[in-house]
Amino acid sequence: MLRLAAPLALAELGWMAMGAVDTVMAGGLGPAALGAGSLGNMIFYPTVIGATGLLLGMDTLVAQSFGAGDHMDTRRTLVNGIWLALAISPLLAGLILVLIPLLRAAGVNPVVMLLLSPYLEALLWGIPPLLLYTAFRRYLQAVNIVHPVMFALITANLINVLGNWILMYGHWGAPRMGLAGSGWSTSISRLYMAAVLLVAVLWHERESGNRLFRIPWAPNLKRLRRLVQLGLPAAGQIAFEGAVFGLVTVLAAKLDEVSLAAHGIAVQIIGTTFMVPLGISSAASVRVGQAVGRHDPHGASAAGWTALAISGMFMGSAGILLWAAPRFLVHLFIRNSAVVASGAILLRIAAFFQLFDGFQVTATGALRGLGDTRSPMLAHFAGYWIVGLPVAYLLCFPWNWGVTGIWVGLTIALILIGGTLLLVWRRRTISLAKTAESTPKNQT
């Protein structure tokens, strides 16, 4: 599990670093550019990352086929994943293009809009390679090839930094493009990531006799339908979670500047710790799916519980760190004493949900390996939208707890979601074991 999870966790941290670098480098262009970049990212990333959830069904299908020893079937899922990625891309681009005039009509600051439009238009060119990268990644990790994924993300950060420096600020004879240059640099980095994983796929094919080119490449409607059936709930779960954090940021923005700054820094810190169990979650999905494919319910159970144990150890340690040294962590971002004090309180609250945040994302991956993407979606919807968000609002405004109330609401939600998904995982593995015991060996 560690051999598979560690490179994937590093890849997720690399993804996090890319967004942080863009924000830091945009800050040198002034407040308007920084604001336009933040607004553009709030529009672009939830939309596109949510759509990549449609490809998460590849985890289930590829891993189960690989576990069953049907390597040609893994390639059929890859082919249809590529078709699905290509079909989604123009729809996403069209949706984001429609949002630009709507923002202008909604009264967004004209100076911000002047910078926002070319930035978003540059990012659009990165959508097809990002979705293709996602399809290649889901395939490769499901067949136990993960080091190219880590390599692609880490080196893409270097390309993104260099591209930002050249295109944003006009170095090496390039025009000074400002914020739009950041968008083009990001799209170039995405193209590079997709190219690296394509090379990894082709290299793997060369070693295995180029079987990928011996199967039909026409889209298979039945397999596409199955991918969408698995992927839609996963996309919904990502959307529910992303929308909540976007909405609580809007609530924090209604408070004073200190509260908003403390909230933003705390989100950045917990987002970083979250990347590690997110990588473990992908590994759990692969290992559980492979065990299901080889009809090994005990192996599936062991894989899931092992992933949960590793995730729990890491996030438990992260929770202790947040509780023991919150002021130090906030101080890494800002020196303002009021923000440091407020942020330290939020991190101590976050310490209580770290363990459960790790459980919920890892259990989500393990359940995806079983083919269950619906339970995590329902748990996230109920936990965040029915319980957590109303509690956060009530504590923040009617009860005047301020930003602290928002984070108490998030804590309650994550404890409920994590605990629920642990119980669902336990029930699913017990049911799987009983089914296997009642099935004659010759049928298995």
For residue range 238-258, what is the model confidence (pLDDT) as tens digits? 888 888 887 887 788 788 878
Rg (CA), the chain: 22
Residue 441 confidence (pLDDT) above 60: no
Separation of CA 306 from chain center: 21
Q: What confidence tier does 108 reach under pLDDT thresholds 50, 70, 90? A: low
For residue range 376-387, what is the model confidence (pLDDT) as tens digits? 999 999 999 999
Mean pLDDT of the region 118-135? 93
Residue 20 confidence (pLDDT) above 80: no
Q: What confidence tier does 106 reach under pLDDT thresholds 50, 70, 90? A: low
> Residue 387 has what pLDDT?
96
**Residues 85 and 48: beta-carbon distance below 8 Å:** no
Instruction: Tell me how far apart the alpha carbons of residues 303 and 1 are, in angstroms, rounded to a whole number.
Output: 7
> Residue 252 has what pLDDT?
81
% of the chain exceeding 90 in pLDDT: 62
- What SS3 class is residue 315? helix
Residue 37 confidence (pLDDT) above 80: no
> Residue 444 has what pLDDT?
46
Least-confidence region, from 1-10, 319-328, 329-338: 329-338
> Residue 209 has what pLDDT?
80
Mean pLDDT of the region 428-437? 81
Structure tokens of 374?
A: 């619906």
**Residues 179 and 115: beta-carbon distance below 8 Å:** yes
Q: How far apart are the first and last CA of the chain?
A: 26
Mean pLDDT of the region 284-300? 94
Instruction: Tell me how far apart the alpha carbons of residues 404 and 385 are, in angstroms, rounded to a whole number.
Output: 18
Q: What confidence tier does 109 reach under pLDDT thresholds 50, 70, 90? A: low
> Residue 150 has what pLDDT?
92
Residue 87 confidence (pLDDT) above 50: yes
> Residue 31 has what pLDDT?
65
**Residues 384 and 376: beta-carbon distance below 8 Å:** no
- What SS3 class is residue 254? coil
For residue range 353-376, what is the model confidence (pLDDT) as tens digits? 999 999 999 999 999 999 999 999
- Interacting residues of 108 by C-beta distance below 8 A, sequence separation 6+: 39, 116
String of b and e for 349-376 (b: at least 16 CB within 10 Å)? bbbbbbbbbbbbbbbbbbbbbbbbbbbb
Mean pLDDT of the region 260-286? 90
Which residue stretches of 170-256 are H helix?
Answer: 179-207, 221-253
> 59 or 34: which carries more pLDDT confidence?
59
Mean pLDDT of the region 132-148? 94
Question: Residue type at 72?
Answer: M
Residue 399 confidence (pLDDT) above 90: yes
- Interacting residues of 402 by C-beta distance below 8 A, sequence separation 6+: 255, 259, 396
Q: What confidence tier does 335 reach under pLDDT thresholds 50, 70, 90? A: confident
**Residues 331 and 356: beta-carbon distance below 8 Å:** no
Query: CA of 127: how far to CAs of 124, 189, 223, 435, in Å?
Result: 5, 11, 23, 42
Mean pLDDT of the region 403-420? 95
> Residue 276 has what pLDDT?
94
**Residues 361 and 281: beta-carbon distance below 8 Å:** yes
Q: What confidence tier does 228 reach under pLDDT thresholds 50, 70, 90? A: very high
% of the chain exceeding 70 in pLDDT: 95
Label residue 338 exposed, middle or buried (CB < 10 Å: 0-12, 13-18, 19+).
Answer: middle
Residue 41 confidence (pLDDT) above 80: no
Q: Number of H helices and number of E strands within the chain?
A: 17, 0
Nearest partner of 190 among 123, 281, 276, judged by Cα: 123
Question: Residue type at 335?
Answer: R
> Residue 439 has what pLDDT?
62
Count Cβ atoms below 10 Å from residue 176 Cβ, excluding itself: 12
Average pLDDT of every residue of the chain: 89
Structure tokens of 281?
A: 């979650």
> Residue 432 has what pLDDT?
83
E strands of 272-427, at which residues? Answer: none
**Residues 5 and 12: beta-carbon distance below 8 Å:** no
- Interacting residues of 273 by C-beta distance below 8 A, sequence separation 6+: 315, 318, 322, 354
Size of the chain, expressed as the number of residues it contains: 444
> Residue 103 has what pLDDT?
73
Residue 207 confidence (pLDDT) above 80: yes
> Residue 88 has what pLDDT?
93
Structure tokens of 279?
A: 């990588």
